Amino acid sequence: MSAKGGVSPHYAGRFLGTLLASFAQLVRSPSHTRRAEAGRRAARHALWLIVGLGAAIIALMYVLDVYEIGLMPPRGTPGLRWVRILTDFGKSAYVLYALFALMAIVLIASAAMRGTARTVLLGLGTRLQFLFLAVLTPVLVGEVLKWAVGRGRPFVGGKANAFNFEHFSGGEAFASFPSGHANTAFALAFAVSALWPQSRFVMLVYALVICATRLVLLAHHPSDVVGGALLGVIGAMVVRYWFAARRLGFAIDRDGTIVALPGPSLERLKRVARGAPGP
């Protein structure tokens, strides 16, 4: 800190340099020698997902969507207050704001650090960048799809109709496909699991619970949440490949499998936090 209590010029310079470097690493040319193998492998997996879940979406629209929403409690049911609270944990704005805030905290702290402590925080910052972009990318694509598809939410128009469309309408009532909450939840679940594989079960349960709340609240048809889940996973896969091709947080095995690099441990982060100096 400066003598007058402001931010020192040295800290401001380090902060700006850290900010620019964190952006530059994302847009630099890919350098991993096995990125082609990883790209082909990821493309195969994405194709299988699109074919399999795409067929499921069509089947659900014809067979299950109308029946399922007829089983749900009416909108505004008082006993669903806890479901409305729970569903917000999959709201894209909340998830992205939280990840952005964490990135900002790490960036500000890392600019004040030196040596090992700075390296630890920068490693954490790269992983937070991955999580943020892995959610943001499919969310943005999902918003375009919602506008283009224009599928009516359950009972819009007064009756159960799985084929109620107003393409390019832009209204909230016709923004049912794909589900934004399912998109966000599955993108986050895939991204967190990619970094920390031991969290897969917990993150899958989180994503499925969020999807269930959208059905109970009559916000979406079953095919909407499957479509959102598909988009979220594929979007996060694309971002994971982007990071792996630049050796950021991930490595690529000989067969093209993308694996997470060891990140900063919780104990190291605690030690850094205890010794953090002020700017």
Is residue 127 within 8 Å of 25, Cβ to Cβ?
A: no
- pLDDT recorded at residue 169: 87
pTM over 0.85: yes
Pick from 202, 249, 227, 234: nearest CA to 89: 202
- pLDDT recorded at residue 7: 62
- pLDDT recorded at residue 27: 93
- pLDDT recorded at residue 279: 45
- pLDDT recorded at residue 275: 58
- pLDDT recorded at residue 269: 63
Pick from 195, 244, 236, 194: nearest CA to 30: 244
From residue 152, alpha-carbon distances to 138, 144, 146, 168 in Å are: 21, 15, 10, 12
Taking the C-alpha atoms of residue 235 and residue 278, their distance in angstroms, rounded to an integer, is 38
One pLDDT digit (tens) per residue for the chain, 279 residues: 444 556 677 777 888 888 898 889 999 999 999 999 999 999 999 999 999 999 999 999 999 999 999 999 998 888 899 999 999 999 999 999 999 999 999 999 888 877 888 888 889 999 999 999 999 999 999 999 999 999 999 999 889 999 999 999 888 999 999 999 999 999 999 999 999 999 999 999 999 999 999 999 999 999 999 999 999 999 999 999 999 999 999 999 999 999 999 877 666 666 655 655 544
- pLDDT recorded at residue 185: 98
- The residues near 251 (Cβ < 8 Å, ≥ 6 apart) are 32, 244, 258, 259, 260, 261
- pLDDT recorded at residue 4: 54
Residue 197 is classified by DSSP as G
Taking the C-alpha atoms of residue 189 and residue 135, their distance in angstroms, rounded to an integer, is 9
- Helix, coil or strand: residue 258: strand
Q: What are the strands, taking DSSP E only, across the chain?
A: 250-252, 258-260
